[in-house]
Amino acid sequence: MISQYSGISPTGDLLLLQKLGAKLRKKSFLHVNSTKAGGGVAEILQRMIPILNGLGINTRWEIIEGDDRFFDITKKIHNAMQGNPEKFTKDMWDHHYEINRMNAAKLDLDANAVLIHDPQPAPLIKFRKKGKWIWRCHIDVSNPVKEVCDHLMRYCSKYQAAVFSVARFARAMAIDEFIIPPSIDPLSDKNRDLTAEEINETMDRLKIPQDRPIILQVSRFDRFKDPVGVIEAYKTVRKYNDCILVLAGSPATDDPEGEIVLNEVREYAADDPDIHILLLPPFSDRDINAMQRAATVILQKSLKEGFGLTVSEAMWKAKPVIGGAVGGIPLQIVHGATGFLVHSVEGAAFRIRQFLNNPEMAWRMGEKGREYVRKNFLITRQTRDYLSIWYSLENKGRNILEL
């Protein structure tokens, strides 16, 4: 399994991964999150679980289930943790806890290491029996609503360690904190090489013309992804450059706001025939891959962002990228080298035009981007990091330099 990555991932990562795998072989590793499909967490877990099992680590992935009210509450927690003012009552927190209690009764939480992803299942820590429990925060917590953050931290501080994607997100917690940026899998259907026929077949099926430059953003329909801002930037660009815009996204089962935002976006695009808004079914990996490969410029104009996997996905395809200067996006886009960071609609429009008018510069940045992702954001590196943390927690206080 790991050998499939040789020649693609950095050799040092593969070596360390094998050594850590050998140390942790036969131990059990449990991941828990709240959706199988939609969004970056599910995207990574789908690919990482088989890799971990391939290393001989007994790895499981469990999903917590909840009612509509639970997901409304957790979306509000998510929004508040990313800085949006939201009103919370004791009753809401009680429901958050209660649903987790019911899940704990059903799930097998017994493992040597348990990685709990994001706020939705955070209260599960109350039901820990054994093992190292790590809370993995994927969202942008650079400026959270204090009361909401304080409440959530009552759970998170009970874990043995917390992991954030970006150093700026780390909180002053009494437990160990680690920084691990997410990653993409170069071998997945989302990122593997595609033939020109595969790309053309997909674009024809999706009815996206390829006779003009394509500006693309792939993301859940979420206001933090600023789809309306993308349309505004596109409208400015269209005054000078002929191009089309594609906004592609699918609903996540744990995101009840998707449909409302999609309607807003449709309304804003009105009936412009050159704006293609695609509602993709879950698991549209190959279609997304093809669109990213067919695109001329790729945007991730987020206003808040945990990491923004779509940025690395685009860079891996050697595409010129433009991203909001928030969350994990500046980790990936080295401004002026592997893409451009923007702070406004005007900035986005300016950079889109710059790429459209300078194909040679766009090509150069795209190539640099691909190498940057190879070194820093492939799944082998992230798996290595998770195992390093687990191994270090198991051997705390001991000299473990010698693997």
Dig out the tokens for 23 from the structure: 């140390």
The size of the interface with ligand UDP (CB under 6 A), counted in residues, is 19
Residue 310 binds to ligand UDP (criterion: CB under 6 A) = yes
User: Minimum distance between the CB of residue 23 and ligand UDP, rounded to whole angstroms?
Assistant: 30
Structure tokens at 159: 């874990």
Site for ligand UDP (CB under 6 A): which residue of 16, 21, 31, 39? 39
CB of 283 to ligand UDP, least distance (A): 7
Contacting residue, 280, 303, 325, 334, with ligand UDP by CB under 6 A: 280
Nearer Cβ to ligand UDP (101/192): 192
Which of 321, 330, 312, 285 shows the shortest CA–CA distance to 372? Answer: 312
Which residue's CB comes closest to ligand UDP? 40
Q: Which amino acid is at 284?
A: S
C-alpha to C-alpha distance for 263 and 254, rounded to whole angstroms = 18
Site membership for ligand UDP, residue 319 (CB under 6 A): no
Burial pattern 245-258, b for ≥16 Cβ within 10 A else e, equals bbbbbbbbbbbbbb
Nearer to ligand UDP, 203 or 309 (CB): 309
The residue written with tokens 């969350």 in the block is 327
Tell me which of 219, 296, 338, 380 binds ligand UDP, using CB under 6 A.
219
Minimum distance, C-beta of residue 42 to ligand UDP, in the bound complex (Å): 8
329-344 in b/e form (b: 16+ CB < 10 A) is: bbbbbeeeebbbbbee
Residue 249 in contact with ligand UDP, rule: CB under 6 A: yes
Distance separating alpha carbons of residues 35 and 42, to the nearest angstrom: 6
User: From start to end of 219-360, where are the E strands?
Assistant: 244-249, 275-279, 297-300, 321-324, 340-342
- The answer to whether 220 contacts ligand UDP (rule: CB under 6 A) is yes
Q: Contact between 284 and ligand UDP (CB under 6 A)?
A: yes
Binding mask 223-242 for ligand UDP (x = CB under 6 A): --------------------
| Half-sphere exposure of residue 243: CA atoms within 13 angstroms, side-chain side | 27
C-beta of 30 vs 218, nearer to ligand UDP: 218
Which parts of 342-381 interact with ligand UDP (CB under 6 A)? none
Considering only residues 33, 103, 202, 250, which one is a binding residue for ligand UDP as defined by CB under 6 A? 250
- Asked if 54 contacts 271 with a C-beta cutoff of 8 angstroms, the reply is no
* In the complex, minimum distance from the CB of residue 395 to ligand UDP, in angstroms, rounded to a whole number: 31
Residue 43 or 226 having the CB closest to ligand UDP: 43
Which residue in 13, 29, 34, 43 binds ligand UDP (CB under 6 A)?
43
**Minimal distance, residue 271 CB to ligand UDP, in Å:** 23
Task: Enumerate residues 6+ apart whose C-beta is below 8 A from 365.
Answer: 320, 321, 337, 338, 339
Token reading at 378: 């492939």
Q: How far is CA 258 from the centre of its chain?
A: 16
When asked if residue 288 is in the footprint of ligand UDP (CB under 6 A), the reply is: yes
Residue 242 φ/ψ region, left for φ over 0, alpha for ψ in the -120 to 50 degree band, beta for the rest: beta
Distance CA 38, CA 15 (A): 32
Q: Could you say which of 77, 80, 309, 314 contacts ligand UDP (CB under 6 A)?
A: 309
Q: Which of 269, 377, 355 is nearest to 248 (CA)?
A: 269
Among 244-252, 256-264, 343-351, 359-367, the segment contacting ligand UDP (CB under 6 A): 244-252
Residue 294 CB, shortest distance to ligand UDP, in Å, is 15
Residue 33 near ligand UDP by CB under 6 A: no
Nearer to ligand UDP, 24 or 291 (CB): 291
From the CB of 38, what's the least distance to ligand UDP, in Å? 7
Three-state DSSP at 32 gives strand
Q: 184 pairs with which residues across the strands?
A: 378
Contact residues toward ligand UDP (CB under 6 A) are 39-40, 43, 190, 218-220, 248-250, 280, 284, 288, 306-310, 313
